[in-house]
Structure 1
Amino acid sequence: MSQSEDFDDMNVGGYNGDRMDLAQTNGKPPPPELPPEKLPYPKSVFFIIGNEFCERFSYYGMRTILVLYLNEHLNFSENQSTIIYHVFVMLCYFTPVLGGIMADSWLGKFKTILYVSLVYALGNIVLSGSSIDSFGDQNTHIWLAVVGLILIGCGTGGIKPCVSSFGGDQFVVPQQEKQLQKFFSVFYFSINAGSVISCFLTPMLRADVSCLGDDKCYPLAFGVPAVLMCLSVVIFVCGSGGYRMKKPEGNIVMEVVKCTGHAIMKKVQTQKMCKREHWLDYADDIYPRKLINDTKIFMRLMLLFAPTIVFWALYEQQGSRWTFQANRMDGNFYGFIVQPDQMQTVNPVLCLIFIPLFEGIIYPVLAKLHLVRSPLQKLCWGGMLAALSYVVAGALQMKIEEADPIVPSGSISQLRLYNTFNCPIGVESAELKINHVVDPLNTYQFLDLPGGTTSSLTASVQNCTTDVGMTGTSTISLLEGEISSYLLAPDGKNIDIDLLTLRGKKEVEKSEKAQAKVKIIYGGSGAFEVTLSGEESVTFNVSNHQSELYEMDNNKWYDVEVNGNKIGERIYLYPGGVYTIMILDSMTDFRLLQITTPNNLNLMWQIPQYVIITAAEIMFSITGLEFSFTQAPTSMKSVISSFWLLTDSFGNVIVLVVAGSHIVQNQAYEMFLFAAMMAIVMVIFIFLAMNYKYTEVNEDGDVVDEVETSKM
């Protein structure tokens, strides 16, 4: 029994609610009423706020870099990384139901938070360990990462429904109603503060710090969130002496599930003998009428909010597809390099700006224009904005793909020639219909040649005062769906046409890790070393005219050294570029050949789609949660909280189906597909909303009336 109930039960001096018996006060007027007892502010909530800040920092910091870790460090493809990422997020939003049941029916909130947080911290430690190369082979790293992600998913999901409500338990209501409201404001501010700081800082730890012999430091990037999660447990335990703890009272989610299951079973058994107005009415032989009626309202709300699932499918891809999109863009912003995963910071920052902006300006203006006058209208506009954000993202993706190299497919082949002469070289082939002049110290690629063929190619020096009359003829073979590269090099008084062993699409395709790809070629004979020296140095072993193709850290300057001697000018490697360094015969200079255009679209072009998806989040997500709470009876609010988190989980399932089934191969078209899905679902939502019956809930949380239809 609460303290307020204790005061209500007291009947001191014959107090009868309105007056005091004058006979018991000797005819004197009653004394003035005592002011309500002023309860001290529960200092224990500061431990809960500190715990939440550290936990959110840990979660969002780890999640921000996760998809790039899967792709860059564990060598999963972009599609595989997307699938694993969304399986993890799905787990994070499915387990809150289990955490709520555990807290309400068994352990209580304090023990649930404590025990599950320990599992959570262990998961962070295991995930951080999986990124250390010395811990076993690649398979070991993958299994450690999987175990770590499962533990983190169960941990963050398990405590998600408990922490905020446990903080609320520290206040005595209604005496501390205002303090409770301020607590939730500070609580949610701590969530956003933790996410903003970690989304900005963790990618810097990943990309800008070198450790353990690697130019990227995933152990540190995962280790800092792990330390913060351990710290959150310590902070939470430190406040245990001052917490108000309530005993578990049972979980309404389980009651709804059991009531629904019983109604279905009874309907199947007795529907031929008796007909009921609603299928849930079959449960009235065991369950109270209030629970049945409240469950009906809950079911009606859930039908209305089914489109939320598709919204979350779009929203959650900020951490996967949108991050990979950013990985194919140029992050140089006035000299400051923005990491692709840092773009996820834009959403929480915009949320902090947009919430007061929408409430104070945008909603009142839209209401005056008769565009947005009800929560259901906000939801419609929010869903359409989400679809629009993917139209914008798809258009940007198409622009990015314009810079992609043309690679052969099917029976088509391509031929690339490298001219190591300081003279133009003319090449001819009657069978391939080639007649072209390759510029001095340069390269040229012939597209759309028939694959699976063997042809004669003749090369000759053109318009040059040196090497006059030098020619050469060779038989070249072209493979279907591949790129064949040949080197035009001097061989005495002849031109040697040598096949380079590095052939295929890798020579032109961009790095999936957004790094620069570099190889060395040399027209002369012999073997030697070429070192690209910078913050990190890479040594290429050159033999038989060429080296292997290496991926280099981008957005950095490098000196070119041959056998330890610096030659030529410094070079700058851009993200996504594919380069060939041609060492000249004298070995005192070189030419940098750009084979594939680097990422040329600036990362800031992603901001419009982030602005639109954040506006959609404000109008759709926040309004949806608020609307469902105002429309539901008090007894159903925790059920709605659980379902709201489950819709996010189901949204990730949609992404898994689309990504895993390869319905659409082109990434831009996949984004347009999601936009179309959202638009179609919102048309269905408009129909449901127009036929939705509003409910009116009294102060006790009971439904007192229903409006026939909303008409939006």
Structure 2
Amino acid sequence: YHVFVMLCYFTPVLGGIMADSWLGKFKTILYVSLIYAFGNIVLSSSSIDSLGDQNTHIWLAIVGLILIGCGTGGIKPCVSSFGGDQFVVPQQEKQLQKFFSVFYFSINAGSVISCFLTPMLRADVSCLGDDKCYPLAFGVPAVLMCLSVVIFVCGSGGYRMKKPEGNIVMEVIKCTGHAIMKKVQTQKICKREHWLDYADDIYPRKLINDTKIFMRLMLLFAPTIVFWALYEQQGSRWTFQANRMDGNFYGFIVQPDQMQTVNPVLCLIFIPLFEGVVYPVLAKLHLVRSPLQKLCWGGMLAALSYVVAGALQMKIEEADPIVPSGSISQLRLYNTFNCPIGVESSQLNINHMIQPYDTYQFLDLPGGTESSLTASVQNCTTDVGMTGTGTISLLEGEISSYLLAPNGKNIDVDLLTLKGKKDVEKSEKAQAKVKIIYGGIDDFEVTLSGEDSHTFNVSNHQSELYEMDNNKWYNVEVNGNKIGDRIYLYPGGVYTIMILDSKTDFRLLQITTPNNLNLMWQIPQYIIITAAEIMFSITGLEFSFTQAPTSMKSVISSFWLLTDSFGNVIVLVVAGSHIVQNQAYEMFLFAAMMAIVMILFIFLAMNYKYSTVNEDGEIEEVETSKM
């Protein structure tokens, strides 16, 4: 996910250079839109089963995603700056500000529509002999993209188009290099106010001034990288967090990945709210009166959202199973008798009674040991005097599970394949894990039947561990015959179904507590991060356009988008290196990083010199910052 997003926000630099130096914004948007549309067509083709084998599908999908990533690189920096070119500044400065809000509103409107429409096309439509229709889900965006290109071309007669002013990036690089070389050679002889002024012997003053603005903006943009590291985790870390929560909202099941639609929906609400209410109120309170102040508040809100997310994660982790680590081991025993069973081991310091058809877990036992364990029937009118002794092997850092089962007049202590931490940890897909156990020795089938069904083969006291769809009712059937009452499986729960000796009833044992926090508890952090996005992202687009020299509008916009790409790099580094193992602490780490860089950003903003456009359309510097 983050690699693809990184590609989408790295390629805008190339698109910005093409637009400002070679093709112009209109032609750049047109050509790369065709690449983008073709990428959607290739991606749709990759989901057609009849087109080759699995490797063919994988390569088609990769090629399609690369084409989409490259196509979006040309579109992102050029569309916003091309739209900004349609306004005359400073006469239409207010209209220009509203344009960027409307532009961002339309992006999120498209996102909301796609989030609802695409899953419906994929899941509710059958095509090409399959119950699901991925080709249609990917194909509709391809058709709409082609249609948008046609509409874009049809309006070309009414656009204001500015011609590219040569290879401005190379001119900036050469100007910078010459200034550095000249400064080294002549700084003792001739002092200049700014080090770039040393290039005025061969480069025009306008290019030098434009390069100064470019350098100031790049320095100002640097701390904003961390904001995107936080923002982009809505599609990864926050979705993983949602997998650990209960999506049942008054009978309607919200899937974890559907929470990503909350952000664009809130954007549609917040954009007019901020423009019409929030910003005017904050301006009257003298809290927010300039773009840089909006960026500062947006960054602080992003940090706050991760404090809230981290606090929620800590609450979620309270329901996590206790798993051993290091040299510590754990032991779980299952009692398949209709009588209490007393278990005793002097070596392990165990003396406990397990209730009928129940289970018990012993924590903090020494790993890497083998110990004797004695089991005997207690306080029961049946199976009187039954005892048994077995050897318990405990592995370091693992959980060992044993079944107490009848064997004639004795009690057998049988090892189960449930012996690892993975068997009790919650499903990464928010599903319910289920295993069947049985005290007898015969083999049979157990089926959990409902909207989705699965058949377990029980052999040697047990079945495999299987992940079932959650938030659903299931009937339990033994060899096709329904037994007992139906059961409800909750997300994240780990269950063992113990079939009784008669095979006419069962017990549902909860091994790991299901997800007990409702998914709606994520709403506060989404509200905060969306408010941060409104103040940060929209303002950043407007700021990068209005502060950029005329010859660098697309290039500066592309560098603003490039910060998003580097933000994804930060996520990959932090997540890949496992600097912090605990998810809650990792979220607090990101919050601290955001707060620290925003302090740096405030310092840079206080010393920033705004650029304004005069009546002649020329860029002028304002000596005092409006921060």
Q: TM-score when scaled to structure 2?
A: 0.89
Post-superposition offset of 1:520 = 0.9
C-alpha change, 1:176 and 1:647, in structure 2 (3 Å) is: closer
SS at match of 1:456: strand
Q: Deviations over 1:632-662 (max 9, x none)?
A: 4444433321221111122222212211222
C-alpha change, 1:541 and 1:225, in structure 2 (3 Å) is: farther
Q: Deviations over 1:89-129 (max 9, x none)?
A: 11111111212333444455555445433433444455456
SS at match of 2:109: helix
Unaligned runs of 5+ in 1: 1-84
8 Å contact from structure 2 (residues 444, 457) kept in 1? yes
C-alpha change, 1:677 and 1:170, in structure 2 (3 Å) is: closer
C-alpha change, 1:567 and 1:363, in structure 2 (3 Å) is: same
Question: Which has the larger displacement, 170-179 or 428-437?
Answer: 170-179
Question: Which has the larger displacement, 128-137 or 140-149?
Answer: 128-137
8 Å contact from structure 2 (residues 246, 518) kept in 1? yes
Name which of 559, 567, 574 aligns with 1:651.
567
Question: Which has the larger displacement, 349-358 or 608-617?
Answer: 349-358
8 Å contact from structure 2 (residues 17, 554) kept in 1? no
Q: Deviations over 1:28-48 (max 9, x none)?
A: xxxxxxxxxxxxxxxxxxxxx
Q: Deviations over 1:129-173 (max 9, x none)?
A: 666788888777665554433222112112223345666789999
Post-superposition offset of 1:615 = 1.4
8 Å contact from structure 1 (residues 129, 219) kept in 2? yes
Post-superposition offset of 1:221 = 5.2
SS at match of 1:608: helix
C-alpha change, 1:145 and 1:366, in structure 2 (3 Å) is: same
Post-superposition offset of 1:388 = 0.7
Distance 2:548 2:469 in 1: 54
Q: Deviations over 1:516-566 (max 9, x none)?
A: 111111111121111222222212111001111111222222222222222
Q: Deviations over 1:595-631 (max 9, x none)?
A: 1111111111111111111111222333343344444
Q: Deviations over 1:5-25 (max 9, x none)?
A: xxxxxxxxxxxxxxxxxxxxx
C-alpha change, 1:710 and 1:95, in structure 2 (3 Å) is: same
8 Å contact from structure 2 (residues 371, 392) kept in 1? yes
Post-superposition offset of 1:399 = 0.8
Post-superposition offset of 1:591 = 1.4
SS at match of 1:305: helix
8 Å contact from structure 1 (residues 203, 342) kept in 2? no
C-alpha change, 1:522 and 1:211, in structure 2 (3 Å) is: farther
Q: Deviations over 1:187-216 (max 9, x none)?
A: 554322211122234456677889999998
C-alpha change, 1:382 and 1:482, in structure 2 (3 Å) is: same
Q: Deviations over 1:438-485 (max 9, x none)?
A: 121111111111000000111111222221221111111111111111
Is the counterpart of residue 678 in structure 1 residue 594 in structure 2? Answer: yes
Is the counterpart of residue 175 in structure 1 residue 91 in structure 2? Answer: yes
Matched with 1:374 is 290
Post-superposition offset of 1:181 = 9.5
8 Å contact from structure 2 (residues 544, 557) kept in 1? no
Give the aligned CA root-mean-square deviation in angstroms: 3.5
Question: Which has the larger displacement, 181-190 or 495-504?
Answer: 181-190
Post-superposition offset of 1:569 = 2.0
Q: TM-score when scaled to structure 1?
A: 0.79
C-alpha change, 1:700 and 1:538, in structure 2 (3 Å) is: farther
SS at match of 1:306: helix
C-alpha change, 1:153 and 1:695, in structure 2 (3 Å) is: closer
8 Å contact from structure 1 (residues 633, 697) kept in 2? no
Distance 1:480 1:181 in 2: 63
Post-superposition offset of 1:430 = 0.6
Post-superposition offset of 1:304 = 2.6
Distance 1:180 1:399 in 2: 45
C-alpha change, 1:172 and 1:389, in structure 2 (3 Å) is: closer
C-alpha change, 1:477 and 1:635, in structure 2 (3 Å) is: same
8 Å contact from structure 1 (residues 252, 639) kept in 2? no
Matched with 1:586 is 502
C-alpha change, 1:238 and 1:595, in structure 2 (3 Å) is: farther
C-alpha change, 1:213 and 1:448, in structure 2 (3 Å) is: farther
Distance 2:127 2:512 in 1: 30
SS at match of 1:489: strand
C-alpha change, 1:388 and 1:138, in structure 2 (3 Å) is: farther
C-alpha change, 1:514 and 1:524, in structure 2 (3 Å) is: same
8 Å contact from structure 1 (residues 632, 697) kept in 2? no
Is the counterpart of residue 518 in structure 1 residue 431 in structure 2? Answer: no
Q: Deviations over 1:212-255 (max 9, x none)?
A: 99998866655554554455556667878998987655454454
Unaligned runs of 5+ in 2: none
Q: Report percent identity of matched pairs.
A: 94
Distance 1:214 1:572 in 2: 29
8 Å contact from structure 1 (residues 124, 225) kept in 2? yes
Question: Which has the larger displacement, 488-497 or 346-355?
Answer: 346-355
C-alpha change, 1:391 and 1:526, in structure 2 (3 Å) is: same
Distance 1:636 1:557 in 2: 61
SS at match of 2:146: helix
Matched with 2:49 is 133
C-alpha change, 1:646 and 1:238, in structure 2 (3 Å) is: same
Question: Which has the larger displacement, 278-287 or 157-166?
Answer: 157-166
Name which of 289, 302, 308 aligns with 1:392.
308
Question: Which has the larger displacement, 132-141 or 511-520?
Answer: 132-141
SS at match of 2:626: coil
Distance 2:289 2:546 in 1: 16
Question: Which has the larger displacement, 672-681 or 644-653?
Answer: 644-653
8 Å contact from structure 1 (residues 295, 636) kept in 2? no
Distance 2:525 2:90 in 1: 43
C-alpha change, 1:404 and 1:177, in structure 2 (3 Å) is: closer
Distance 2:626 2:32 in 1: 45
Question: Which has the larger displacement, 352-361 or 568-577?
Answer: 352-361
8 Å contact from structure 1 (residues 567, 590) kept in 2? yes
8 Å contact from structure 2 (residues 89, 617) kept in 1? no
Q: Deviations over 1:492-530 (max 9, x none)?
A: 111111101232112201111211111111111121111
Question: Which has the larger displacement, 682-691 or 268-277?
Answer: 268-277
C-alpha change, 1:309 and 1:180, in structure 2 (3 Å) is: closer
SS at match of 1:447: strand
SS at match of 2:436: strand
8 Å contact from structure 1 (residues 633, 701) kept in 2? no
Post-superposition offset of 1:183 = 8.2
Name which of 139, 146, 154 aligns with 1:230.
146
Q: Deviations over 1:690-709 (max 9, x none)?
A: 3333444313332x764443
C-alpha change, 1:434 and 1:245, in structure 2 (3 Å) is: same
Q: Deviations over 1:281-339 (max 9, x none)?
A: 23323321012112212322332332211111111111111111112111111111112
C-alpha change, 1:228 and 1:509, in structure 2 (3 Å) is: farther
Distance 2:220 2:104 in 1: 27
Post-superposition offset of 1:593 = 1.2
Is the counterpart of residue 504 in structure 1 residue 420 in structure 2? Answer: yes
8 Å contact from structure 1 (residues 695, 705) kept in 2? yes
Distance 2:541 2:160 in 1: 28
Distance 1:138 1:323 in 2: 27
Post-superposition offset of 1:362 = 2.4
C-alpha change, 1:327 and 1:526, in structure 2 (3 Å) is: same
Matched with 1:216 is 132
